[in-house]
Amino acid sequence: MVRCNLCNQELGRITETHLWRKHKMRYHQFIKRFPNANSGLTPWNKGKSKETHPSLLRLSQALKEKKEWNFSDWQTKRRPQFGARYRILEKDNILAELIGIVLGDGNLYKHLRTENLRITCNSKDSGYIKHIGSLIKKFFINPHLYVSAMIQRQ
C-alpha cells in the first residue's frame, strides 16, 4: 500500500484515474512534482530493453526466428475488411481547388480512430459553402457535412 502525496489517501498504487479524478493532474505531472514518491507498482519495462531484460530478449529472438507473430494469419485475412479505403485521386482543376480551399480555410485533425476536415467560411456566403460541399462530396466516401445553425436560419 502507498499513500498519495497530495491527499494522503492509502491506495494499492497511485493510478492515472485517481490523480485525474481527485486532483486534475496527469501521472507525468505527479512524477515531476514528486520524483521520489512511491507510486506503487512500477511498469515492467521501466528502464529495460531487450539487451537488459531476459524476457524481452527471449521474445525478440523468438519473433526474429519465426519471422511472423501469432496473429499474422488472422491479420492478413481480416486486412481487406478492416483496412482503410482510400481512393486514388485524379489530378485536375477540381482537386486543385479543393486543396487550395483546405490550405486556406481548412483544418485537418487526426482523432484516435478517424480524421476530421474542417473548413470555416463566412456565413453570408451560402453559395460558396454549397460549392465547397459539392467538391467534398466528389472526393470523400460518405462525408458528414455540418453547416452552422446561423446559415440554416437564412
How many residues in the chain? 154
Q: What's the CA gap between 15 and 25, in Å, rounded?
A: 11
Question: Are the beta carbons of 118 and 107 closer than 8 angstroms?
Answer: yes
Model confidence pLDDT, tens digit, residues 10-33: 887 788 888 888 998 888 888 888
Q: What is the mean pLDDT of the chain?
A: 78
pLDDT reported for residue 99: 92
If 0-12 CB within 10 Å is exposed, 13-18 middle and 19+ buried, where does residue 11 land?
middle
Q: Which pLDDT band, with edges at 50, 70 and 90, does 154 fall under?
A: very low
Domain ranges for the chain, please list them: 2-33, 48-83, 93-153
Q: Which pLDDT band, with edges at 50, 70 and 90, does 78 fall under?
A: low
Model confidence pLDDT, tens digit, residues 34-74: 888 776 655 555 667 777 778 778 877 887 777 666 667 77
Whether the pLDDT of residue 101 is over 90: the answer is yes
Whether the pLDDT of residue 87 is over 80: the answer is no
Q: Which amino acid is at 3?
A: R
| High-pLDDT (> 70) share of the chain, % | 77
Q: For the whole model, what pTM was predicted? A: 0.42
